[in-house]
C-alpha cells in the first residue's frame, strides 16, 4: 500500500468542498480559482457540466444518464492553467 507521494503536497489528499478555500495547484503550487466547465443545452444556453454514474443510455434525443448525477466544480490554476475537477455529493 502506498501511503503518499512525498512530492505531492498534503492538501492534494483531501478533495475540497466546493465553497472551501481553493486548493493549491498540484502542478505548480500556485492559487486556483473555482469555476465550471460550461456545457450548452440544445437551445444553445449555457449549463453546468454534470458527471453521471454508469454508462450513458442512448435515446431518441441523444444520450442521458441512467442514474444519479453530480454537478462538476472545476478549479483552474491562475499560473499554469491546470484544471482539477470535483463532483461533490450534494
Does residue number 83 form part of the binding site for Zn ion (CB under 5 A)?
A: no
Least distance to Zn ion from the beta carbon of 27, Å?
A: 4
User: Rounded to an integer, what distance in angstroms lies between the CA atom of residue 3 and that of residue 6?
Assistant: 9
Q: Please give the C-alpha separations between residue 46 and each of 2, 30, 49, 67, 82, in angstroms, as whole numbers.
A: 41, 29, 9, 23, 22
In the complex, least distance from residue 12 CB atom to Zn ion, rounded to whole angstroms: 12
The answer to whether residues 55 and 66 touch, using CB atoms and an 8 Å cutoff, is yes
The residue (of 9 and 56) whose beta carbon lies closer to Zn ion is: 9
Beta bridge partners of 86: 73
Using CB under 5 A, pick the residue from 18, 82, 85, 88 that binds Zn ion. Answer: 82
Site for Zn ion in 15-74 (CB under 5 A): 25, 27-28, 30
Residues found near Zn ion in the complex (CB under 5 A): 25, 27-28, 30, 77, 79-80, 82
Amino acid at each position: 500500500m502506498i501511503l503518499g507521494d512525498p512530492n505531492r503536497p498534503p492538501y492534494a489528499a483531501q478533495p475540497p468542498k466546493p465553497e472551501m478555500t481553493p486548493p493549491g495547484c498540484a502542478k505548480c503550487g500556485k492559487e486556483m480559482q473555482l469555476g465550471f466547465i460550461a456545457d450548452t443545452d440544445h437551445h444553445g444556453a449555457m449549463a453546468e457540466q454534470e458527471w453521471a454514474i454508469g454508462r450513458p443510455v442512448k435515446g431518441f434525443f441523444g444520450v442521458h444518464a441512467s442514474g444519479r448525477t453530480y454537478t462538476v466544480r472545476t478549479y483552474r490554476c491562475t499560473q499554469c492553467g491546470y484544471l482539477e475537477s470535483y463532483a461533490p455529493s450534494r
